[in-house]
A and B are shown apart, each in its own frame.
Chain A
Amino acid sequence: MMENLSNLAMGLGVVTQPYNLMIIVVGLILGIIVGVLPGLGGANGVAILIPVVVVMEPTAGIILLSMIYWGALYGGSITSILFNIPGEPWAVAATFDGYPMAKGGRPGKALVLAFLAHGVGAIFGVFILTFFAPILAEFALKFGPAEVFAVMMLTFSAFVGLGGKSPLKTVVSILFGFILAAVGMDIVSGQLRMTYGTVVLMGGFNFVVAVIGLFGLGEIFLTVEEGLKVEGIKTRIGLKDIWDGMKDITHYPKALIMGTLIGCWMGFKPGGATPASFMAYGFTKQASANADEFGKGASAGIIAPEAAAHAAGTSATIPMITLGIPGSPTMAVIMGGLMIFGLQPGPMLFKEHADFVWGFIASCWMGNVLGFFVVLAFAPIFASILRVKFAIFMPLIIYVCAIGAYAVNNRMVDVYYMLMFGVLGYLFKKLDYPIAPMVLALVLGDMAEQAMRQALIIGHGSPLVFFSLPLALPLMAAALIIFFWPVIAPLKAKMFGKKT
């Protein structure tokens, strides 16, 4: 505990250097803009900036990337409350009460409530990150290849069993991601795989390009299809709004605590932020004495989902930094940024690059605290970005995406891939194939394959190695139970139904 605190103090020392502070503010502002614009979410914003970050020093670079993430989380609330357009899936639940309250004449108060709830949820998430991540990393040092593979299975099973989409389509999406990752040179034997004699395919597919195409262009095609009509509520945040917001948040401690805890718990699981925000909203509504006020601008209906979404967003950092398994596409891209610096996230990172890890954790503290003030001060300005005509910023986004896709590897073919991934992302969205698991599979593909092959070599070819005690067996069992949850859940309901 004390050691963590002194490490954190060291990290804060790094982060409060003037240059890094400047990066934090710039990153937050960029992130909020990215969060406000449709078609550019956290994952994209980070992906596009990776080429810029590469020429920076690692600590500053990762601070910039993570600030864009925090900024995008804050920015998402602005659009959902003022425009009823959730910039990110986890901001959807915030529109239920946020937009009605804004429409009812209190847009400033709605924003303040959202930001406060965000802030509290995030700080609690970072608190857990600070004290829990080192313990988890220490534990994960005991993992061998079989355990690493089992943890990955657990991650992907969570998408299949708990993702809420069609389990079969999720499986297809995951396997397709793994296949894309396998294209090109085999890391173990050096043989060329699935290149079919072409030179272009030898380089394989880079997941940053996939992210830019799938999330950036795919989202733009969807927005174009819906024909974006922006009808926002104009606002400025006065002192009275801030005062009322602070008063209200103390009136609903239950909503705040429930949201935060659900968020932290769900954040560990991949893709947790979105279900967390809905769950928090639902639970708070059920527990509330005046549930019929929900949907008409209830304060608790803003607090709970916002706290949950942001707490989940922060606690999603924990599996990424300790196990090397990103819980969300944005985390995957941030992890990709780390890997470009030659920093492999995972338990060894805490041992080998402690200064870097603690600088990152300290920047999460700074970013979330400063982010609150930045977003509070400039929310109306950020909101006005959305009033710029779609026909102006849409081609600009495509242009910036093209820059990002090219600069990852300095290959022109990646820009074509980006266009293809854009169309694919659109089709996936329309046909209800989830995109996030595919991106994660593409990121983790090489690692998963390597872990599996090493484990099999250790086990002399017997798949029983994945069920060895003490660690692999429970992980694998949990993975299998979660994987088959869509089949188990109805059975369980049937059995219980017969009993009662």
Chain B
Amino acid sequence: MRKADIWVSFLFMLVGITVVVDSVRLGFMWGRTGPASGFFPFYLGVGVIISSLIVFYNALSRYKKEGAGGPLMPPGALKSILWVVIPSTAMVVLTELVGLHIAAALFLAFYMRVVGKIAWVTTILVAIIAPLSLYITFDKLFLIPLPAGLWGGYLLRF
């Protein structure tokens, strides 16, 4: 837990530094017509660096005194979270190829059957009905086109 705290505050510091660097490039002083583009971000960056430095210092000193503290996640949690993160990322990547609705149908079927161990009948019914009804609502009724991907247009032709 404290290790993660230290790392995250360190990352925030890095973010702050990159922001400050870019603000200096843009100019953070008084420009020709008022404060320059980098004025506001410059102080934001400085603020993030200072406050995350203190968070970093506090976490580090507590880490040295009291050890790492409890784990960030309870045991076994990382696995079940990855079982959500990886398939949903896969769905997004697949969307680029076959479009959101077909990718989602595959994602639904995969998660329900493989991870959730839901009965085949329910799995297939939900994986077909849900994307179909959302496709009709968004793409056909409200005329909000959702990503079709490279081949989605050929696959869904109605």
Contacts and interface: CB of A to CB of B under 8 A. Distances in A.
A320 interface: no
Interface string B100-124: 1000100110011001111000100
Classify chain B's interface size. Answer: 35 or more
B74 A391 contact: no
A37 to B, nearest CB: 14
Contacts of B26: 186, 191, 193
Q: Max chain A CB contacts within 10 Å: which of B74, B92, B131, B138?
A: B92
Interface in A445-477: 449, 452-453, 456-457, 461
A426 B40 CA distance: 28
Interface string A23-41: 0000000000000000000
Contacts of A433: 8
B74 A225 contact: yes
Contacts of B4: 427, 430-431
A249 interface: no
Nearest to A189: B37
Q: Max chain B CB contacts within 10 Å: which of A186, A194, A430, A452?
A: A194
B129 to A, nearest CB: 11
A289 interface: no
B147 A172 contact: no
Contacts of B91: 398-399, 402
Given A172-B51, A221-B84, A182 B44 contact: yes
A225 B100 contact: no
Given A391-B117, A427-B8, A169 B55 contact: yes
Contact of A179 (B19, B54, B144): B19
A188 B37 contact: yes
B158 interface: no
Interface in B25-59: 26, 30-31, 33-41, 44-45, 47-48, 51-52, 54-55, 58
Contacts of A398: 84, 88, 91, 107
A230 to B, nearest CB: 14
Contacts of A191: 26, 37
Interface string B78-108: 0011011101110110011000100010011
A178 B40 CA distance: 9
Contact of A391 (B72, B111, B142): B111
A385 interface: no
A176 interface: yes
B63 interface: no
A168 interface: yes
Interface stretch (A72-80, A336-344, A412-420): A412-420
Interface stretch (A302-310, A353-361, A403-411, A489-497): A403-411
B108 A395 contact: yes
B84 A224 contact: yes
Nearest to A56: B142
Contacts of A178: 40, 44
Nearest to A393: B126
Contact of B116 (A220, A392, A427): A392
Contact of B144 (A52, A400, A430): A52
A85 B96 CA distance: 37
Nearest to B107: A395
Instruction: Tell me what chain A mostly uses at the interface: helix, strand, loop, or mixed.
Output: helix
Nearest to A412: B147
Contact of A172 (B18, B55, B87, B117): B55
A221 to B, nearest CB: 5
B116 A179 contact: no
Contacts of B89: 419
Instruction: Tell me what chain B mostly uses at the interface: helix, strand, loop, or mixed.
Output: helix
B15 interface: yes
A423 B82 CA distance: 11
A389 B116 CA distance: 9
B96 A449 contact: no
Contact of A171 (B47, B81, B112, B146): B47
B30 A461 contact: yes
A55 interface: yes
A176 B15 contact: yes
A396 interface: yes
Contacts of B30: 461
Given A225-B77, A392-B116, A399 B40 contact: no
A456 B35 contact: yes
A453 B112 contact: no
B71 to A, nearest CB: 10
Contacts of A175: 44, 47-48, 51
Contacts of B18: 194, 196
Contacts of A399: 91, 104, 107-108, 130-131, 134
Given A171-B47, A394-B84, A416-B92, A193 B22 contact: yes
Contacts of A402: 88, 91-92, 95, 100, 104
A410 B84 CA distance: 24
B84 A220 contact: yes
A452 B36 CA distance: 12
A107 interface: no
22 contacts: A55-B143, A172-B9, A172-B55, A224-B81, A392-B118, A392-B126, A396-B130, A399-B130, A402-B92, A402-B100, A407-B146, A412-B95, A412-B96, A415-B92, A419-B85, A419-B88, A422-B85, A427-B4, A449-B40, A453-B39, A453-B40, A461-B35
